[in-house]
Chains A and B, each alone.
Chain A
Amino acid sequence: MSESAYPIAIFFAAIFTNNILLSNYLGMCSFLSVSRELKTSLGLGVAVIFVMTSTSMLNWVVYYKILQPLGLEYLRFIVFIIVIAAFVQLVEMIIERVSEVLYAALGIFLPLITVNCAILGVSLFMVIREYSFVESITFGLGSGIGWFLAIMAMAGIRQKLKRARIPHGLEGAGITLIITGMMALAFMGFSGMLQIN
């Protein structure tokens, strides 16, 4: 296990200095399309936080307690995505039974999340960087919050953009990408925040 990174540092790094979307480019597809509406961005963002943290923990257990002892690490892609898909399916079913309100708010986003590369990406990064269990939790939570921040900020900005005149060729994806670039630039200002011991 990595002796160098501390859970709290990883948490803040995942939100600010190494934001999963602005620095690691993960979760772009749904980010670009959903950020058009503020409300749906909120719903998707919250769902992402929840799924990302949970699957990060689950996949840690599966990788280190099942795959590794059996020497089957090479199957991690299949196994991780099945874990993610199964978890999302399970959560959807539970929410549907337990709370109408919650289902109405979050339920529709869950299938979208299964193919959100950020979720799988977090699990894969966790393995590559050899995080401990606690670190995988803070990493998943931090990444989720970081993604949430990014999409909320973008949704807010795009609301304002509705009044602006945008060059024809830049409408939609083009201007969103430029704004994302500027946000990435802004977040880079955080890079002095963390100390390494």
Chain B
Amino acid sequence: MAARGKIKKTFTDPIGKNNPVFAQILGICSTLAVTNKLENTVIMSLGVIFTTTLSGVTISALRKFIPSRVRMMAETLIIASFVIIVDITLRAYMPDVWKQLGPYVGLIITNCIIMGRAEAFALNNSAGLSLIDGLSSGIGYAYVLIVIAFFRELLGTGELWGITILGDWWTNWAIMVMPPGAFFMLAIFVWVVKGVIIKEEEETAK
């Protein structure tokens, strides 16, 4: 009974209340960088989900053996290895996307989400729970990015996934694909979500 509750909580937490992007404010760098194109965002998200899940499981499985002195180095090594696997796989099977993502694939290593979950969760929980946590953290990250990318690509280029959706009547909001647009979109997202959460808290407080 308690175990099932814990599993559910482990899964829902990172998706909603404790979302790595808009609640914990982690992993921002890549959020802003890749969300100008929906395709890149989806691929990047898959890479992050893969890395977060597998490194979470591995670190959790090894947690009783990792000496505390070399803890950070061991975690970094494990995370970096999975990222390299993502990098190599992308380069071999999706070279166009690989070229577009550029250094941001490698930057998954420093994506604070992964290291953050490793330290906060994987080190103290079983491999099974860590798998769920890693998976849902990745998913929590992914859907935020996909929503932002949806607006950025659509408003900025009139396209979605490279396919023209808005016709010639639409003047592209070029700012959406440029850095300022990224910052503003993320800020708006955070604002909207926080607004919802705050309203909920006010309701329950009554």
Instruction: List residues of chain A with CB under 8 Å of any chain B CB.
Output: 22-29, 32-33, 74-78, 81-82, 85, 114-117, 119-121, 124-125, 128, 167-170, 172-175, 177-178, 180-182, 184-185, 188
Q: Answer whether A26 and B195 are a contact pair too, CB < 8 Å, given A74-B88, A115-B112.
A: no
**Which residue of B106, B115, B195 is within 8 Å of A169 (Cβ)?**
B195
**Which residue of B73, B103, B181, B186 is within 8 Å of A121 (Cβ)?**
B103
B183 within 8 A of A: yes
Q: How far is the CA of A77 from the CA of B104 in the complex (A)?
A: 11
Q: Answer whether A169 and B191 are a contact pair too, CB < 8 Å, given A27-B29, A181-B184.
A: yes
**How many Å from the CB of B104 to the closest CB on chain A?**
8
Instruction: List residues of chain B with CB under 8 Å of any chain A CB.
Output: 22, 25-30, 32-33, 72-73, 76-77, 80-81, 83-84, 87-88, 102-103, 106-107, 109-112, 115, 175, 178-184, 186-187, 190-195, 198
Question: Using Cβ atoms and an 8 Å threshold, which residues of chain B touch A177?
Answer: 183-184, 186-187, 190
Decide: B107 and A174 in contact? CB cutoff 8 A: no
**Which residue of B29, B72, B76, B178 is within 8 Å of A28 (Cβ)?**
B29
**Which residue of A23, A81, A120, A181 is within 8 Å of B187 (Cβ)?**
A181
Decide: B84 and A174 in contact? CB cutoff 8 A: no
Q: Answer whether A77 and B109 are a contact pair too, CB < 8 Å, given A25-B29, A167-B191.
A: yes
**How many Å from the CB of B157 to the closest CB on chain A?**
18
Question: Using Cβ atoms and an 8 Å threshold, which residues of chain A touch B77?
Answer: 78, 82
**How many Å from the CB of A177 to the closest CB on chain B?**
4
Decide: B179 and A29 in contact? CB cutoff 8 A: no
Question: Using Cβ atoms and an 8 Å threshold, which residues of chain B touch A77?
Answer: 80, 83-84, 87, 106, 109
Which residue of B is nearest A180, CB measured?
A: B183
Q: Answer whether A188 and B110 are a contact pair too, CB < 8 Å, given A169-B191, A178-B183.
A: no
Q: Answer whether A181 and B80 are a contact pair too, CB < 8 Å, given A120-B107, A169-B194.
A: no
Decide: B28 and A29 in contact? CB cutoff 8 A: yes
Which residue of B is nearest A120, CB measured?
A: B110
Which residue of B is nearest A168, CB measured?
A: B198
Q: How far is the CA of A116 from the CA of B76 in the complex (A)?
A: 13
**Which residue of A25, A29, A74, A173 is within 8 Å of B182 (Cβ)?**
A25
Most B Cβ at <10 Å: residue of A74, A75, A175, A177: A177
Which residue of B is nearest A117, CB measured?
A: B110
Q: How far is the CA of A174 from the CA of B192 in the complex (A)?
A: 10
**How many Å from the CB of B87 to the closest CB on chain A?**
7
Question: Using Cβ atoms and an 8 Å threshold, which residues of chain B touch A29?
Answer: 25-29, 112
Q: Answer whether A75 and B190 are a contact pair too, CB < 8 Å, given A115-B112, A169-B198, A180-B183.
A: no
